[in-house]
Structure 1
């Protein structure tokens, strides 16, 4: 069985672009831009971030759940 030989390209042919066009969907640019803008706004005004508040909402929910279980028991 014979092996295929690799043909060498002419260096002049390699200088030309291959003509491949890459087309991205609109959301591949829009979503990262929106995420970047949202993070930038949070940095500029950290009071709007829920994680910056003194008492997170999760703690409040867990306390209410504990109180409900205490009443039911």
Structure 2
């Protein structure tokens, strides 16, 4: 959980589910997939959720529930 948020209507955020599967051409523009495979690829909740391709990171289909 992020204890501080710049979103004006909330004080904190929490993403309990991470990961996904590519299901349509629209997934090509997924910001979460790109972040999980670049800046956040070594973060414990995102590590190993993408595979590198010539077009950039792509979800590998694994989905995780992050209890912490």
TM-score > 0.5 by shorter chain? no
Which structure shows the bigger proportion of residues in helix conformation?
1
TM-score, normalized by length of structure 1? 0.18
What is the TM-score with the length of structure 2 in the denominator?
A: 0.18
Name the structure with the higher strand share.
2
Of structures 1 and 2, the one with the larger relative CO (CA 8 A, separation 6+) is: 2
